[in-house]
């Protein structure tokens, strides 16, 4: 299998083709020497035969026809037309030609059969030696089979390498997606809280206005940079982004999660409450649904911290078939400085909309009657 190479049509390296040709040359040379004295013309013909074998991977039709014709010329001077040299040439032709398909292989075999018939019945004026012809066919078929098996091994090796590359890239992409999830669910939410606390302090007290304004601007700028990083990490839409770090989720975990976020909202002056309702007899939630629900709830809380006025309300209803989320909040007055940031509010939610719709769910959101309203169904 060291004769195989991934770059050429026949998957045999140039050095391997040269070695094969030299071997054919030695066999043909010995065969010629046994039949009649070797001269310069005979050596030239054998060299041309070697060149034809070398050229087979690059020009299979022309080089094969040339090899057949040259072999016919050599065989015309021999006592036994069906000789070892002819079999050696057919071995190389069989190995090489099958790489171009069954049809090409059959055409080459037909050319060889016509050559032998012409040599035996016409040029050598003798009857067709059936036993020798059968040996020629068997030699060619065995060589073609060896070439086919060798190429199968190379294709299998390439397939394994491609699969390993795909698995490696999938692992890297999944790591990027998981990193984006963690940045969004934790760091982005905390940065929103910091910005909101700075804004609340500016509204309540004129003391240290410059410092708190700087804190607010730095927090918003860091949040914007963080969203850019998250967008880059989420750029692989073909990855299964519904996988996460949780295996299962129970009722107590859900309650603690929303209570923690409700407390954070109240600390920055946004008053509200999230109601959790469990319908049905179940304690654990599957991995996919558990991660997706908590990530979406975290996204909702992040948007509340950034854009809500003073109040919000949210309901999370669980049952054995689906999870329904309904959220509503007033919208704080947005100045021109935060207008671009406000337009980004739909960016994270549109990402979750694609995830939910992919699994048969839905996500609708927008401003209605002066309040932001969101409805999600996760299946």
Could you tell me the CATH number of the domain that includes residue 337?
3.30.565.10
Domain annotation covers residue 190 = no
Domain count, the chain: 2
**Best CA proximity match to 332, nearest among 141, 148, 196:** 196
The answer on 251 and 153 residing in a single domain is: no
The answer on 148 and 23 residing in a single domain is: yes
Q: Which tokens go with 365?
A: 């959101």
- For the segment 270-321, what is each residue's pLDDT rounded down to a tens digit? 889 899 888 765 556 666 677 788 888 888 988 887 778 888 999 998 887 8
**Residue 21 reports pLDDT greater than 60:** no
What is the predicted pLDDT for the residue at 238?
A: 44
The answer on 152 and 249 residing in a single domain is: no
What is the pLDDT confidence band of residue 350, given thresholds at 50, 70 and 90? confident
Domain annotation covers residue 117 = yes
Domain end call among 164, 190, 221: 164
The answer on 33 and 150 residing in a single domain is: yes
Domain end call among 140, 164, 188: 164
Task: For tokens 């999870």, name the residue.
Answer: 323
**At 280, phi and psi to the nearest 5?**
110, 165
Lowest-confidence segment of 75-84, 109-118, 280-289 by average pLDDT: 75-84
The answer on 289 and 157 residing in a single domain is: no
Q: Which tokens go with 370?
A: 């002066």
Domain annotation covers residue 225 = no
The answer on 257 and 132 residing in a single domain is: no
What is the predicted pLDDT for the residue at 336?
A: 38
**Residue 344 reports pLDDT greater than 70:** no
Domain end call among 164, 181, 216: 164
Sheet holding 271-278, edge to edge: 271-278, 308-318, 323-331, 371-378, 362-368
Gap between the Cα atoms of 70 and 52, Å rounded: 9
CB 84 within 8 A of CB 40: no
Gap between the Cα atoms of 351 and 362, Å rounded: 12
Task: Quote the pTM value.
Answer: 0.45
371-378 and 323-331 beta bridge pairing: antiparallel
Domain annotation covers residue 172 = no
What is the pLDDT confidence band of residue 112, given thresholds at 50, 70 and 90? low
Domain annotation covers residue 286 = yes
Domain annotation covers residue 88 = yes
Domain annotation covers residue 192 = no
**Best CA proximity match to 177, nearest among 222, 224, 230, 223:** 230
Exposed/middle/buried for residue 320 (C-beta within 10 Å: 0-12, 13-18, 19+) = exposed
Domain annotation covers residue 194 = no
- The H or E element containing residue 11 is none
Interaxial angle between packed helices 60-76 and 102-118, expressed in degrees from 0 to 180 and rounded to the nearest 10:
20
The answer on 57 and 153 residing in a single domain is: yes
Q: Which tokens go with 96?
A: 């090489």
Sequence-distant (6+) residues with CB within 8 A of 169 are: none
- For the segment 178-223, what is each residue's pLDDT rounded down to a tens digit? 666 666 666 666 667 777 777 777 666 766 667 677 676 667 666 6
Say which residue, 314 or 165, is predicted with more confidence.
314
Please give the residue range of the domain that contains residue 61: 14-164
Buried b (16+ CB within 10 A) or exposed e, 201-239: bbeeeeeeeeebeebbeebbeebeebbeebeebbeeeeb
The answer on 150 and 248 residing in a single domain is: no
In three-state secondary structure terms, 269 is coil
The answer on 250 and 145 residing in a single domain is: no
The answer on 259 and 159 residing in a single domain is: no
The answer on 349 and 254 residing in a single domain is: yes
The answer on 284 and 159 residing in a single domain is: no
């Amino acid at each position: 299998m060291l004769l195989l190479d991934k770059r050429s049509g026949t998957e045999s390296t140039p050095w391997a083709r040269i070695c094969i040709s030299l071997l054919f040359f030695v066999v043909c040379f010995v065969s010629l020497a046994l039949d009649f004295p070797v001269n310069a013309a005979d050596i030239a013909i054998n060299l041309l035969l070697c060149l034809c074998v070398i050229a087979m991977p690059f020009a299979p039709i022309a080089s094969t026809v040339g090899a057949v014709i040259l072999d016919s010329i050599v065989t015309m001077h021999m006592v036994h037309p069906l000789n070892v040299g002819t079999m050696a040439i057919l071995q190389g032709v069989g190995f090489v030609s099958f790489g171009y398909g069954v049809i090409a292989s059959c055409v080459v075999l037909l050319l060889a059969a016509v050559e032998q018939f012409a040599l035996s019945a016409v040029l050598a004026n003798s009857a067709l030696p059936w036993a020798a012809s059968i040996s020629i066919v068997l030699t060619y078929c065995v060589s073609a089979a060896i070439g086919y098996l060798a190429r199968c091994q190379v294709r299998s090796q390439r397939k394994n390498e491609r699969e390993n590359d795909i698995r490696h890239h999938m692992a890297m992409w999944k790591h990027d997606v998981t990193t984006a999830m963690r940045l969004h669910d934790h760091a982005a939410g905390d940065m929103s809280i910091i910005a909101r606390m700075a804004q609340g302090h500016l509204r309540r007290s004129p003391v240290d206005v410059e410092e708190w304004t700087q804190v607010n601007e730095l927090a918003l700028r860091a949040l914007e940079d963080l969203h850019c990083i998250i967008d880059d990490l989420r750029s692989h839409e073909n990855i299964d982004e519904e996988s996460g770090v949780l295996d299962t989720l129970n009722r107590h975990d859900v309650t603690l999660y929303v209570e923690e976020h409700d407390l954070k909202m109240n600390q920055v002056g946004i008053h509200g409450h999230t109601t959790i309702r469990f319908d049905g007899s179940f304690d654990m939630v599957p991995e996919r649904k558990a991660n997706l629900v908590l990530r979406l709830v975290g996204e909702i809380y992040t948007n509340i911290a950034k854009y809500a006025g003073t109040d919000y309300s949210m309901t999370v209803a669980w049952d054995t078939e689906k999870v329904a989320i309904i959220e509503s909040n007033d919208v704080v007055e947005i100045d021109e400085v935060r207008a671009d940031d406000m337009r980004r509010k739909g960016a994270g939610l549109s990402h979750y909309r694609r995830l939910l719709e992919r699994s048969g769910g839905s996500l609708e959101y927008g401003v209605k009657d002066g309040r932001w309203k969101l409805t999600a169904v996760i299946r």
